[in-house]
Amino acid sequence: MKILIAADLYWPTLNGVATASRSLAKGLAARGHEVVVIAPSQVGRKHRERDGDCLIERTTSLPFPFYQNFRISLTPQREVKKIISKFQPDIIHIEMVMGIGRSTMQAGSRLGIPIVSTNHAMPENLLDNFRMLAPLARPFNALLEGYGTRFHNNSNYVTTPTQSAIDIFNHKVKNMKVPIEAVSNGIDLSVFAPGEPSQKLYTKYHLPTDRPILLYVGRLDAEKHLSVLVQAAAKVMQKVNAHLVIIGQGIERGRLAELARGLGIEQNVTFTGKVSNEDLPQLYRIGTVFCMPSPAELQSIVTLEAMATGLPVIAVNAGALGELCHDGKNGFLFKYDDDVMMAAAILKIIENPDLAKKMSARSMAIAKTHDINYTLERFEAIYKELLKSKNAS
């Protein structure tokens, strides 16, 4: 099949949508499909590049200063129309509802090309990073939800990463007229797997080897509520000698470092910044427990990666995290922004090696059900069904 993927957030932007979109594109190309991705240029001007077997058509863009590594295509209609006309895809898959996604939806609909749209985001992913918009959160959310309804109703099939995401989507987005299905983002289990971490990593990132490691991976932005994790870590460190490792970058790094200093734990916290794709799977292996305080997750790829590596999980009981962290089975859920409850849950695991071992095995078992190959097979089946329906009409 000739498959066009439209992604306003795409590699090298670092977030779950960009990661999922790239995994889908590269996975489909590896299975023999011809894949073209439309994504914003990282240098401003439009250009074309290869990413393995995928062709990426980069559209003219401007920097978006409130989100790391993100550039926005303001008026991509002409560029998108030209790309679609030249490629003539069998199927279009839209990963975001912004400029490129909207232009692709319009052009694809006019040409009668079957369209799959995936909902990856919640309004909270944006609004929590704009504190000055807090008084406008309710009307702005309603505006976005109405737009989401109209957008996805123009596609032929809608997916979200989890059943929880569908429940949230159906609650907020009314009057959906097209089928909707949960299809996991998926992860590569050949890359993220248990094992002994390289000793060189401890030296490279100045990490201790003699104490439990509380691990977080992801963006350091306001929506992730990382202050809750830092406060919980401080409470844990009052009881046991532990170390917090925060992997990633974002606008909240300075604020979090200041909070750690204020709590007197700055010597027991490591901010690694951005890490390479080669180091990341190894860094998961240094962890004792993985911690996810973000309440705005429609799946959480990093949590899946940690689970596949064999880590017990401590996660906030919000969004879709309950589908990954089964309370009392492979970790513990804690109440929204409750750092006391989070700290107690962390202590239960690091003070009980037998429990940690059982939870590790359960994490790996759950992660196996999210193998990227299952995801790719399901999307292929959806595409084929849509093409069959088109050809029959």
Q: Does residue 131 carry a pLDDT above 60?
A: no
Checking if the pLDDT of 136 tops 50, the result is no
Q: Look at 139-143, 248-252, 290-294, 362-366 and tell me which has the smallest mean pLDDT.
A: 139-143
Range(s) of the chain covered by CATH 3.40.50.2000: 2-186+371-392, 199-368
Could you give the C-alpha distances from 280 to 74, 124, 218, 304, 313, in angstroms and in order? 33, 27, 11, 13, 17
Mean pLDDT for the stretch of residues 213-239? 97
Average pLDDT over residues 293-316: 96
CB distance 356 to 350 below 8 Å? yes
More confident residue, 203 or 391: 203
Residue 71 binned pLDDT confidence (cut-offs 50, 70, 90): confident
When pLDDT is averaged across residues 67-91 and rounded to a whole number, the result is 86
**pLDDT of res. 140:** 42
Q: In terms of pLDDT, which residue wins out, 296 or 194?
A: 194
What sign results for the dihedral spanned by CA atoms 351, 352, 355, 360?
positive
Beta strands in the chain (DSSP E): 2-6, 34-40, 47-51, 54-59, 62-63, 71-72, 91-94, 115-118, 157-160, 180-182, 213-217, 243-247, 269-273, 289-292, 313-316, 331-334
| pLDDT band at 150; cut points 50, 70, 90 | confident
Q: What's the whole-number mean pLDDT along residues 36-45?
A: 93
pLDDT at 8 > cutoff 60: yes
- Supply the pTM of this predicted model: 0.91
Half-sphere exposure in the Cβ direction for 283 (13 Å, CA): 27
The dihedral built from the CA positions of residue 190, 191, 192 and 196, taken in this order, carries a sign that is: positive
pLDDT at 341 over 90: yes
Helix runs in 88-198, H state only: 99-111, 124-127, 137-152, 163-172
* Residue that wins the pLDDT comparison between 198 and 292: 292
- Using the predicted structure, report yes or no on whether residue 68 has a pLDDT greater than 70: no
Residue 308 has pLDDT above 90, yes or no: yes
Region 325-353: mean pLDDT is 98
240 — phi, psi (to 5°)? -135, 160
- pLDDT number for residue 132: 44
Distance separating alpha carbons of residues 47 and 55, to the nearest angstrom? 11
Provide the token pair at 200.
């060189």
pLDDT of 196 reads 92
Domain 199-368 coded CATH 3.40.50.2000: yes
pLDDT band for 393, please (50, 70, 90 cuts).
confident
Residues 356-389 have pLDDT tens digits of 999 999 999 999 999 999 999 999 999 999 999 9
Query: Contact at 8 Å (CB) between 37 and 55?
Result: yes
Q: What is the pLDDT of residues 181-200, one digit of tens each?
A: 999 999 999 999 999 998 99
User: pLDDT band at 149, cuts 50/70/90?
Assistant: confident
Instruction: Report the percent of the chain where pLDDT is more than 90.
Output: 78
What pLDDT band is residue 145 in, cutting at 50, 70 and 90? low
Taking the chain, what is the end-to-end CA distance rounded to the nearest angstrom?
19
pLDDT of 295 higher than 60: yes
Question: Is residue 133 pLDDT above 60, yes or no?
Answer: no
Q: Contact, 319 vs 297, CB < 8 A?
A: yes
Task: Report CA-CA distances (Å) from 168 to 11, 60, 312, 346.
Answer: 27, 33, 26, 28
> Could you tell me the two tokens for 180?
């909707």
The domain defined by 2-186+371-392 carries CATH number 3.40.50.2000: yes
Predicted pLDDT of residue 144: 57
- Mean pLDDT in the chain? 91
pLDDT of residue 146 exceeding 70 = no
Task: Tell me, letter by letter, the H, E, C secondary structure of 1-23.
Answer: CEEEEECCCCCCCCCHHHHHHHH
User: Alpha carbon of 392 to those of 42, 108, 112, 387, 389: distances in Å?
Assistant: 41, 19, 13, 8, 5
For residue 266, pLDDT over 80 is answered with yes
